[in-house]
Amino acid sequence: MKLEGFLLSVTDMARSRQFYETVLGRKVIQDFGANLTFEGGPVLQARFTQMLGLDPATEVKRSHNAELYFEEEKIDEFVKSLEQMGGIQYVHPLLEQPWGQRVVRFYDPDGHIIEVGEPMDCVVGRLLREGMPAEQVAERTMFPLEFVRMVEEQSKR
């Protein structure tokens, strides 16, 4: 069995399409009106509960039990662009997780949580540049020391 992607139920396709294209830079590869697919995901589906024969009132908004996860090497620039756009409803602003990764979480127009975080190799590199010894970086990030040393070597090139 092969996972083909994930689908999000949306109430306003035009609004959701604009959000994913503008805020997250997604590129549409298929548009069937009520169903729209972005390169690399997600798939958006309008009238999802109706399609399933369910009462639309049973849809849960902001369920806080799942999120879409993206990575961005230039996290500070991305967060600045979010602030400049305005109108973003945050779960929380940019913060640093206990393992050192900086992340921001916010809602899409239908209340789905979006997380954008630094790739972990960037986290490791940042902690090393800040002067943290490799052994401490490995402990903090929970990555093997071999990975930390590999990132350290790559940064010297």
What pTM did the predictor assign? 0.90
Count of Cβ atoms closer than 10 Å to residue 72 Cβ: 20
C-alpha of 157 from chain center: 29
> For residue range 118-132, what is the model confidence (pLDDT) as tens digits?
999 999 999 999 999
Return the H-helix or E-strand segment holding 50.
Answer: helix 48-51
Query: What distance in Å separates the CA atoms of residue 41 and residue 28, rounded to the nearest whole number?
Result: 9
Q: What per-residue confidence (pLDDT) applies to 97?
A: 97
* 3-state per-residue secondary structure call for 94-133: EEECCCCCEEEEEECCCCCEEEEECCHHHHHHHHHHCCCC
Note the pLDDT of residue 114: 96
Query: Structural domains in the chain?
Result: 1-55 (3.10.180.10)
Digit-coded pLDDT (tens) for 64-120: 889 999 999 999 999 999 999 989 999 999 999 999 999 999 999 999 999 999 999
Residue 41 has a pLDDT of: 92
Question: Which band of pLDDT confidence, cut at 50, 70 and 90, is reported for residue 48?
Answer: confident
Indicate if the pLDDT at residue 5 is higher than 90.
no
Distance between terminal CA atoms of the chain?
Answer: 41
Asked if the model's pLDDT at residue 155 lies above 90, the reply is no
Residues 113 and 104 sit within 8 Å (Cβ to Cβ) = no
**What is the percent of the chain with per-residue pLDDT over 90, rounded to a whole number?**
82
Tell me the residue type at 97. Q
